[in-house]
Amino acid sequence: MRAVAVHPDAVVVTSRMWQTNAIALRRSDESLLIDSPYFPDELELLPTLLAQAGFEPDGLLATHADFDHLLGRLAFPGLALGVGEASAERLRAEPGAAQRELRDADDEHYLRRPSPLSIGAVQALPVPGRVDLGDAELELHPAEGHTSDGTAFLAGFANLVACGDYLSPVEIPLIAPGGSVGAYRGTLERFAPLVERSETVVPGHGTVLDRSGALRILEDDVRYLDALGRGEERPRLPDGRNTRRQRRVHAENLATLSR
């Protein structure tokens, strides 16, 4: 696990699994944690690591309802989880799905956790909308297409946007069940002005990006989605993402669209 301060009031913690990013934000005397690392030892260490950096979360947020973004509850079991309205509905409609997917992933990697995941109290947040943080606020923007749900969080005071599973330098766009190419394109269109307003872009997976790097990835992702929409079996994948794993993801995208 790696922790990097990207602003005096923002720290990005990156898991060694899937390069999953969690973002701690603070303003005045309040702090929030967006998303989570993955491994049990990372989650056990997380409260101490953040406290040493001056971040003691008062609440948890998640960009969407995929299991690997919900594990903050394992590190901070006493805190409520805030998600966009679509994510709250997905959690209600799929009871136990995140826990089952986590158990399956843990089994694949021979992991055992000291306690099972409990989603606990979930607060549905209006999207578009705003959430107060100290004397500032976060903007909430819809981000569906990868899945049926999703929220991007813009922290203007830190010139930072947390975009969930979009704009990744290590993953191509993945169209999961409930997602769609059209909705994904719409999210990227909404992201362009958010990125222009930010200095730091934190994807769900991969290295933190500056504005120009995020805009390059956005353009590459639009081109990939165009090729996917045409049903191309062997499109040229973006630089840095033309890997065996991402070629499998492309094949899965084609299969999803054909259903």
Give the pLDDT score at 259.
78
Q: Which CATH number goes with the domain that contains 27?
A: 3.60.15.10
pLDDT at residue 121 greater than cutoff 90: no
pLDDT, tens digit (0-9, with 9 covering 90-100), for 201-249: 999 999 999 999 999 999 999 999 999 999 999 999 998 999 999 999 9
Backbone angles phi, psi at 16, to 5 degrees: -80, -5
pLDDT at residue 258 greater than cutoff 90: no
The pTM (predicted TM-score) of the whole model is: 0.96
Give the pLDDT score at 171.
97
Give the pLDDT score at 124.
97
In 3D space, the residue among 170, 171, 153 whose CA is nearest the CA of residue 162 turns out to be 153
Q: What is the DSSP letter of 237?
A: P
Give the pLDDT score at 80.
93
Mean pLDDT of the chain: 96
The total number of structural domains that make up the chain: 1
Distances (CA, A) of 108 to 7, 13, 101, 152, 180: 36, 24, 11, 30, 28
Q: Domain limits at 223?
A: 2-258
